[in-house]
């Protein structure tokens, strides 16, 4: 199963991706995690990405695509993967399609977690306090939500157009949301 998880920052995407990873026994590929690992490792690429991430903006399409290609080309991704954080804009939708076609691994489904805006803001504030994620300052969060609305929200339209979008209610207990996702997956 190759699936993309869509949803605003704080929609629960990351948590659900971890649960799906265990259930489907396929890797969880998060471009945010890949970028944070590069920042932590202090690679040239990480240094370049850090300022952009701190500002809540999107890292350049080329950098992220390169990291993604490297990750999904690894052996463990042959059985499938859960993509979290990519595509983040319409250009990345085309890049993903081209990459997966090249690898002979077409996407099965895009699942969008729908959560009302007020709840998103509440959840992110809670997460920032609990996890101390470096890119969760109030300014960064505001910028990330703006970038999401302007650049990432249209990504769902792309998947709807190609008939691969399913929308799942992301409000409620983690296990309930998880079950809704599992029920929405193609057979």
Residues serving a catalytic function are 13, 88, 127, 133, 144
Q: Which residue has the tokens 């471009």?
A: 31
Select 4 or 181, whichever has its Cβ closest to ligand AMP: 4
Q: How far is the CB of 178 from ligand AMP (least distance, A)?
A: 19
CB neighbourhood size of 25 (10 A):
11
**Tally of CA atoms within 13 A in the half-sphere of 78 that contains its CB:** 3
Q: Is the peptide bond before 87 cis (omega within 30 degrees of 0)?
A: yes
d(CA 52, CA 54): 5
- Does the footprint of ligand AMP cover residue 9 (CB under 6 A)? yes
User: Residue 73: which residues within 8 A CB-CB, separation 6 or more?
Assistant: 103
Place of tokens 């489907």: 24
Strand-pair category, 28-30 with 2-6: unpaired
Total number of residues binding ligand AMP (CB under 6 A)?
A: 17
Q: In the complex, which residue's CB is closest to ligand AMP?
A: 32
**Shortest CB 49 distance to ligand AMP, Å:** 7
Choice from 4, 5, 8, 53 touching ligand AMP (CB under 6 A): 53
Contact call for residue 158 and ligand AMP (CB under 6 A):
no
* 7 belongs to the binding site for ligand AMP (CB under 6 A): no
The reply on whether position 35 binds ligand AMP by CB under 6 A is: yes
- Applying CB under 6 A, which residues contact ligand AMP? 9, 31-32, 35, 52-53, 56-59, 64, 85-86, 88, 92, 135, 144
């Amino acid at each position: 199963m190759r699936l993309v998880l869509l949803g605003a920052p704080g929609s629960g995407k990351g948590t659900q991706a971890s649960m799906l990873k265990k259930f489907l026994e396929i890797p969880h590929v998060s471009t945010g995690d890949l970028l944070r690992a590069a920042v932590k490792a202090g690679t040239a690429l990480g240094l370049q990405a850090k300022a952009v991430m701190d500002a809540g903006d999107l890292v350049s399409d080329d950098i992220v695509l390169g990291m993604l290609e490297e990750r999904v080309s690894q052996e463990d991704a042959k059985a499938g993967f859960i993509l979290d954080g990519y595509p983040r804009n319409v250009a990345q939708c085309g890049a993903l399609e081209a990459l997966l076609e090249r690898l002979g691994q077409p996407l099965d489904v895009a699942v969008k977690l729908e959560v009302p805006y007020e709840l998103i803001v509440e959840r992110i504030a809670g997460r920032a306090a609990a996890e101390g994620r470096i890119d969760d300052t109030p300014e960064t969060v505001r910028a990330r939500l703006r970038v999401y609305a302007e650049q990432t929200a249209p990504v769902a339209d792309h998947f709807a157009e190609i008939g691969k979008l399913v929308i799942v209610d992301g409000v409620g207990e983690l296990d309930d949301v998880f079950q809704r996702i599992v029920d929405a997956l193609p057979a």
